[in-house]
Each structure stands twice: as C-alpha cells, then as structure tokens.
Amino acid sequence: MQRVENEIARLIKEINYDEVTRLFEMLLGGKRLRAKLILKIAASHKKAPLLAAIVELIHAASLLHDDVIDEATLRRGVASVNATDGSKTAVMFGDILYSKAFTELVSFDKEIAKIISSSVTALSKGEMMDVKMADNFNSDEEKYLEMLYLKTATLIEAAAQAAAILTGKNPEPYALYGRNLGLSFQIIDDILDITADSATLGKPSMNDFAEGKCTLPYIYLYKVLSDDEKERLVSLHAKALDEQETLWIKQKMQEHKTIEKSFELAQKLSNEAMITMKDDEQLVNILQTMIKRSY
C-alpha cells in the first residue's frame, strides 16, 4: 500500500500545479478498497501499484463530482472540496484527476485500459441515473440495484477483473467477486446511513432519504405499508425530517424488518462471491470484514 501511496503522490506531483497538490492533500484516503483488491489479486506484478493508484484517482474524482451533485458539505467527516473551495473548483479538480488517470492508463495492455475506462462510463451513467431517480420516490428494487451496480460496483468489478488479467488469471470469477463485493458494500452503506449516528457517518443520519435517494430499506418498507402509510412515506421523501418523522420511519422499519431484509441480500451477494473465491483466504477475509460492519 505504501507503494500505491507513493505512486499517487508521484502522479499528483507530475500535474505540476500547486493548487492541485493543495487540494489533494485535503482529501482523506478512505478505505482504499479498490487498491487493496488489486494488490491482493496481482500481488506479484510490478505494475500493480500503478494500476491501483490510477483506480484510486478515478474513485477520488468520482467522489468530488458526487459531492457537487449532492451539494454535500462533508466527506469522511471533513469539509468537502466544494464546501471549502466551491463547486467549480471541485469539478475542475475532479476532471484533472480523471484525465491524469486516463493518461497513465494507456501504458497498460489495451484490454485492461478498456475495462477500466468503460467502467468510468458506466459509473457516470449510474450517477446520472441516481440524480434522475431522486426526482420522485422510487419503489422499483430492480431499477435501484441496476443504478447501484453502475454507480458503485462497476469500478470495483473492473479493478478485480483488470488485476486478474494483469497476472494471467481467469478474469471472470474475479469480475463476479468484484461486482458482488461492490453491491454488498454499498447495501451495507445504505443500511448504515439509517442505523449509524452522525458522528460515525461523518454526515447527517438518514441523509440519503433527505437527498431523495430511496435505498433498499425504504423500498422494502414501501411494499409492506398500508395505503395511508405509503402516502405518508412518499410525502417525507426528499425533505429534511424532524425527530418525529425520523422516529416513525425507523419504527416502521423495525416493525417490518426491512433493515434485516436488506442485509440478507448483501449477505447473499457476499456468500456468492466467497464461494467463487473460496480458495483465496485474503479475498474471503475482505468480504467477511465488509459484511460484519456494525449496523
């Protein structure tokens, strides 16, 4: 991982603009899940740290744009770039990270470059779908999971698949692993948005629903409510909730076990990935650690 951090620092330095260096130093590294995945799959390959650094730059760029779209003032518990330096700067900074990542990507095999770059197109499409879906209350589970796959899972899927190709492994099981890891990881995040406190999240609790996002616990809840209750839930969509409204939603979720149902899907996806990678203890451990995050 230190080699990855060194590669990231080198790429930022090569941009040769103090403002970019300053802004990048403001970003917290996060879990580096995608980088760790690449390093574990392609541990012996000398270019694995560079590929991991490229993917992390892409991920950072996507978060910068995501914060602008969501008008988020916090990222990982600290002020977002759009909050400190404005949305224009955040967008341009994201563009610089994307373009630098693509510049470095051309040094890899064409198949690897295509897999990573195609995932960024899918990611952007997923972001657009997410924004459009927030216009109205969405109760379509399939539509939501498709958006989740595009916005979150594709880059993780691509990282695992590309790392496998880098070392001559069969990419298909690694792609499935990455896809399921990405989906289950985001479902757990969706659950934590409801169950964790603001200090743990680094943002307000139940922020997703206030932003217009109907995640799985809300979709499952809508399906089991009475007509009057459905109407009430929809009326609370995309608005700041008061304490009573928040309590009502949480009580209904507890009554109908929609958090548990959401977790069951994350567990199912995780188990499928574990079976695929049953002979790789490290990759299984990543899944087990992810699925056991407190909710």
Residue 84 amino acid letter: T
From CA 160, how far away is CA 228, in angstroms rounded? 46
Provide long-range contacts, Cβ within 8 A and 24+ apart, for 132-141: 133/212, 133/213, 133/214, 134/211, 134/212, 134/213, 134/238, 135/212, 136/237, 137/214, 137/222, 137/233, 137/234, 137/237, 138/214, 138/219, 139/214, 139/219, 139/222, 139/223, 140/219, 141/216, 141/219, 141/220
Domains in the chain: boundaries = 136-295
> Mean pLDDT per 10-residue run, the chain (295 residues)?
96 97 89 94 96 97 94 86 97 98 97 98 96 96 98 97 97 97 95 83 79 96 98 96 95 98 97 95 91 70
From CA 155, how far away is CA 101, in angstroms rounded? 13
CA angle 71, 101, 165 (to 5 degrees): 120
CA angle 132, 135, 139 (to 5 degrees): 90
Q: Facing residues of 78 across strands?
A: 75
Pairing type for strands 74-75 and 78-79 reads antiparallel
Task: Identify which of 44, 45, 76, 47 has the alpha carbon closest to the alpha carbon of residue 59.
Answer: 76
Buried b (16+ CB within 10 A) or exposed e, 93-125: bbebbbebbbebbeebeeebbebbeebbebbbe
Residues 6+ apart with CB under 8 A from 17: 96
Per-residue pLDDT, 270:
96
Per-residue pLDDT, 138:
97
Specify the CATH superfamily of domain 136-295.
Farnesyl Diphosphate Synthase (1.10.600.10)
Per-residue pLDDT, 295:
46
Per-residue pLDDT, 145:
98
Residue 46 dihedral angles phi and psi, to the nearest 5°:
-65, -20
126 Rama sector, left if φ>0, alpha if ψ -120 to 50, beta otherwise: alpha
Per-residue pLDDT, 74:
83
